[in-house]
Amino acid sequence: MANTPIIAIVDDDEAVRTSLASLVRSIGYEALTYESGVVFLDRRGDDPSCMIVDIQMPVMTGDELQARLVEAGRKFPIIFMTAFPTDAVRQRVLAAGAHCCLSKPTGGDEIIRCLEEAMAGYTAQ
């Protein structure tokens, strides 16, 4: 499929990247993985259709990546995941435009639900 939506997965944990990529591919999307926000920003090419990103990462946190993307005018749905959920972080990323903020570990069904909702809203724009 030439127009398969691309989902960017940004997480410093290789096992998480691998499992999320497998889940994303199982529902028909293409998955591109990045071990950090810096690596994602340094890559060339079109923006993804959606991004799944960890909040707690070294060098650049997920919400710092979100701020850089917003500042650059790059708009696509972002789904946050974190093992350290707090109301303050959740409110901050949602206020900045995140589609949802999930706690780790999160079941595959919840990730798929959130991803499908994000993609439905994105393609409707």
Backbone angles phi, psi at 120, to 5 degrees: -65, -40
Q: DSSP assignment, residue 80?
A: E
Which residue, chain included where needed, has tokens 């993609």?
A: 119
d(CA 89, CA 104) in angstroms, rounded, equals 14
Q: What is the mean pLDDT of the chain?
A: 92
Residue 35, pLDDT above cutoff 50: yes
- pTM (predicted TM-score): 0.93
Asked if 25 and 1 count as a contact pair (C-beta separation under 8 A), the reply is no
- Domains in the chain, ordered, with CATH? 6-122 (3.40.50.2300)
Report the pLDDT averaged over residues 93-114. 93
pLDDT at position 121? 76
Q: How far is CA 17 from CA 21, 23, 53, 91, in A?
A: 6, 10, 10, 25
Residue 95, pLDDT above cutoff 90: yes
pLDDT at position 44? 80
How sure is the predictor about 1, in pLDDT bands with cuts at 50, 70 and 90? very low
Cis peptide before 77 (omega within 30 of 0): no
Taking only the tens place, the pLDDT of each residue in 2-14 is 589 999 999 999 9
